[in-house]
Amino acid sequence: MAYIQPVTRRIVEFGCAIVIVGLLAGVAGAATTLLLHAIEHLTYHYTFGTLLTGVGDSSPVRRAIGPTVGGALAGCGWWILRRHTEVPGLSETIKSHRAIPRVPMSIDAGLQVLLVGSGASLGREGAPRQLAAALGDFGTTRLALTARDREILLACAAGAGLGAVYSVPLGGALFAVRILLGTWHPRAVGAALITSSLAVAVASPVTHLEHALTWPGVQLSYLFALLALAIAPLAAAVGLLFNRVMAIARPKVQFKSWVLIPSVAAAGLLTGICSIWWPELPGNGRSILTVSLNSEVTLGAAAVILLLKPLLTALFLRAGAVGGMLTPALATGAAAGSFATLALNQWAGTDIHVATVSLTCAAGVLAITQRAPSFAALFVWELAHPPYWLLVVFAIAAYAAHGLRLFREQRQSEPPTG
C-alpha cells in the first residue's frame, strides 16, 4: 500500500504536467505568432491579411532597409545576451537532462522572432519551441517528476510549440517523438499527441491558415505515386546539398563579439536587396510555399529561389544568427519541385499539377534534412491540407529519398575493396 500511493501520485502529476505543458505551448505559439505579425507589419507596413505572402507592396527602399535594421537590432541583442550567458541548443539540453536556462532561452527566442519578422531567411519554428520548453519547465517546477518524465515533457513542449505555430498537431507530436526523443514508446506518443493537440487548440485563433486550392482527383493517384518515386533522387540531392551548405556555414564556436551587429545587418541588407526582384525570399519560407501552391512561380523565379533561398539562410548562420531550418528546407524543396514540374510542362507539353509535385519534393527534402520521413510526409500534408490520398504520395517520396540517403551512407562506410 505504501508503494501504490507514490506510484499513483507520479501518474497523476505526470498527467497534470501534460495538460500544463500543452496549454503553455499554445500560449508560446500564439505569443510568438502575434509578435512576428507585429514586426512584419512594422517592417513592411502591409495589412495583416497579406502577412506571410511576401513583402506586399512596400517600396524597394523599405524592402532593403527593413531586414537591415532588424538584423542590426537582433545582432545587438545577441551580442549583449551572449556576453553574459550561454544559450545552449534546445535538443542537446533536453537529451542531456541539463537545466533549461529559461530567461536566456526566452530572450533568444524573441530575438529570433525579431530577425525572422524583419525578413531573415530563417525558420520561425525555433522560437516557439524554445519558449514552450521554457514555459513548460517553469510550469511543472513544483511537480514530482523523474529525469525521464522531464525529458519527455520538454520534448513534447518543443513539439507542441512547433505544432501550434503551423496548426499541425500530428506533425508537432511526431517531431517530439521521432526527432527529439527517437522512440515509439506509448507513454511518449500519448503525451506528445495530447500536448500538441492542446497547443494547436489554444493557438488556433491566431495561427490557423487555410489554402483554397483545387487538387487532382484520386483517379490520378497512381500517376503521382510514380512521380513521387521519380522525383525522390532530386529531393535527396537537394536535401543533402542543403545540409552540406548549412554545415559549412554554421560557425563551430558561437559568435559573441560586437561583430554580430554589422554581420547580421549585412546579411539582412543582402536579403532585402534580393527581395526587390524576388519578394518571396524574405521571411521563413512560408511565402515561397504559398506562392508555389498558388502556381504563381515562373520557371526562372523557381530557379532563382532554389539557388538563393539556401544561400541566404547559410549567410545568416555564418553571420552568427540563430533560427529554424525546417521551413527554409521546406521552401527549397518546394522550389525544386516547382522548377522540375514547370520545366517538364514547358518542354514536354504536359499539364502536371505543379503544387502537388512541389509539395511532394518538399516532403522528400524534409525527410533528408530532418532524418525523419514519417514526420516529413505528415508535416507537409497537415500544412497544406490536401486530400488524404496525397499523404501516401508524400510518404513515398519521403521514404524513397530517405532510402537513397541510407544507401549512400552505407556505400560510403564500406571499406574499399582490393
Tens of pLDDT, residues 148-180: 999 999 999 999 999 999 999 999 999 999 999
Of 282 and 76, which is predicted with more confidence?
A: 76
Rg (alpha carbons) of the chain, rounded to whole number? 21
Answer yes or no: is pLDDT of 265 > 80: yes
Q: Which residue has the cell 523557381?
A: 302
**b/e burial code for range 303-333 (CB count within 10 A of at least 16 → b):** bbbbebbbebbbbbbbbbbbbbbbbbbbbbb
Give how far the C-alpha of residue 216 lies from the chain's centroid of Cα atoms, to the nearest Å.
27
At residue 384, the pLDDT reads 85
Q: Are 30 and 81 in contact (CB under 8 A)?
A: no
At residue 292, the pLDDT reads 57
At residue 50, the pLDDT reads 41
Q: Are 239 and 367 in contact (CB under 8 A)?
A: yes
CA distance 25 to 157: 6
CA distance 133 to 101: 10
H-type alpha helices, 142-298: 147-166, 169-174, 186-207, 221-249, 260-277, 286-293
Range 67-73 average pLDDT: 94
Taking alpha carbons only, the member of 168, 234, 174 closest to residue 201 is 168
Phi first, then psi, for residue 311 (nearest 5°) are -65, -40
At residue 266, the pLDDT reads 95
At residue 293, the pLDDT reads 62
Q: Are 301 and 77 in contact (CB under 8 A)?
A: no
pLDDT in tens, 2-11: 444 667 778 8
Amino acid at 394: F
pLDDT in tens, 112-144: 999 999 989 898 889 999 999 999 999 998 888
- Per-residue cell: 404: 537513397
CA distance 235 to 239: 6
Of 385 and 237, which is predicted with more confidence?
A: 237
pLDDT in tens, 281-329: 876 645 555 655 655 678 888 898 899 999 999 999 999 999 889 989 9
Answer yes or no: is pLDDT of 401 > 50: yes
- Per-residue cell: 248: 559549412
At residue 199, the pLDDT reads 96
Q: Are 279 and 344 in contact (CB under 8 A)?
A: no
- Per-residue cell: 185: 514508446
Give how far the C-alpha of residue 249 lies from the chain's centroid of Cα atoms, to the nearest Å.
18
Q: Are 162 and 370 in contact (CB under 8 A)?
A: no
Answer yes or no: is pLDDT of 33 > 90: yes
SS3 330: helix
